[in-house]
């Protein structure tokens, strides 16, 4: 009888340790996701500011469209569906600009370089964010986590999907290129 009781106690101790470990891991994953969300939001805002600067340089037609989209995008907060729609519209406009007027991005303009760099950083930040969401969802989808409700009241994480095709790489002018001395 004592052996059975000791066995049951050992099994319960192992289950309790597993639950504690999993709950702590899930909490850390949610914190990591929140940090990645803040970084993604910041990068998207920097991209938006750079697009506004590029729109001021372009003037007319596509410049006005970019300015309107960037201003509308800057008004949306959070990483919800509305932000995805706004960011997608801005990304599609940038891709269309790169396709119709590639010289805008191939020139050594400071605004074009800033848009390219900030768009690239935003794409990387989005990948990091989506990776942390995936990691959290893998743990949350485990049967034990669902049954024992180890996720608590944390919101269910969602991916952030936008069109982020890489823009043409701006040329570096001879005047701004660092010299290599032998």
63, 57 Cβ separation under 8 angstroms: yes
Q: Which residue do the tokens 């005047």 mark? A: 175
pTM: 0.82
Of 59, 65, 95, 109, which is closest to residue 168 (Cα–Cα)?
95
Closest CA to 143 of 27, 32, 18: 18
**Residues 175, 110 contacting (CB under 8 angstroms):** no
Determine the 3-state secondary structure of 169 from DSSP. coil
pLDDT number for residue 177 = 45
Per-residue pLDDT of the chain (182 residues; tens, 9 = 90+): 888 888 989 999 998 898 888 889 989 999 999 999 999 999 999 999 999 999 988 877 888 888 999 999 889 988 889 999 999 999 999 888 888 887 887 776 888 888 889 999 999 999 999 999 999 999 988 888 888 888 778 888 999 998 887 777 776 544 444 555 54
pLDDT at 1: 81
- In this predicted structure, what is the pLDDT of residue 64? 87
**Following CA atoms 146, 147, 150, 152 in sequence, which dihedral angle do they give, to the nearest 10 degrees?**
80
The CA distance from 93 to 52, in Å, is 13
Where do the domains of the chain lie, and which CATH numbers do they carry? 27-148 (1.20.1440)
Q: Which two tokens stand for residue 17?
A: 């340790």
Are the CB atoms for 114 and 54 separated by under 8 Å? yes
Assign residue 78 a region (left: φ > 0; alpha: ψ between -120 and 50; beta: otherwise).
Answer: left
What local confidence, expressed as pLDDT, does residue 172 receive?
A: 56
What is the biggest distance separating any 2 CA atoms in the chain, rounded to whole angstroms?
Answer: 87
CB 91 within 8 A of CB 115: no
Q: What is the pLDDT of residues 140-168, one digit of tens each?
A: 888 888 888 887 788 889 999 988 877 77
Buried b (16+ CB within 10 A) or exposed e, 81-115: eebbebbebbbebbbebbeeeeebbeeebebbbbb
pLDDT tens, position by position, 130-142:
999 999 999 988 8
- In angstroms, the Cα distances linking 173 to 33, 87, 99, 128 are 39, 30, 22, 32
Mean of the per-residue pLDDT values of the chain: 86
How many beta carbons lie within 10 A of that of residue 142, not counting itself?
14
């Amino acid at each position: 009888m004592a052996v059975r009781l000791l066995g049951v106690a050992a099994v319960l101790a192992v289950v309790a340790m597993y639950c504690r470990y999993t709950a702590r891991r899930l909490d850390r994953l949610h914190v990591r996701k929140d940090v990645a969300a803040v970084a993604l939001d910041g990068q998207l805002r920097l991209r938006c500011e750079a697009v506004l600067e590029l729109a001021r340089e372009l003037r007319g037609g596509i410049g006005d469209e970019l300015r309107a989209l960037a201003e509308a995008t800057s008004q949306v907060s959070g990483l919800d569906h509305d932000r995805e729609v706004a960011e997608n519209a801005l990304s599609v406009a940038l891709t269309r600009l790169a396709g119709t007027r590639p010289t805008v991005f191939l020139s050594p303009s400071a605004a074009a370089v800033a848009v390219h760099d900030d768009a690239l950083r935003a794409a990387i930040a989005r990948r990091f964010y989506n990776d942390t969401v995936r990691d959290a969802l893998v743990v949350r989808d485990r049967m034990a986590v669902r049954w024992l409700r180890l996720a608590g009241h944390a919101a269910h994480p969602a991916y952030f999907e936008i069109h982020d095709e890489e823009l043409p790489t701006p040329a570096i002018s001879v005047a701004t290129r660092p010299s290599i001395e032998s």
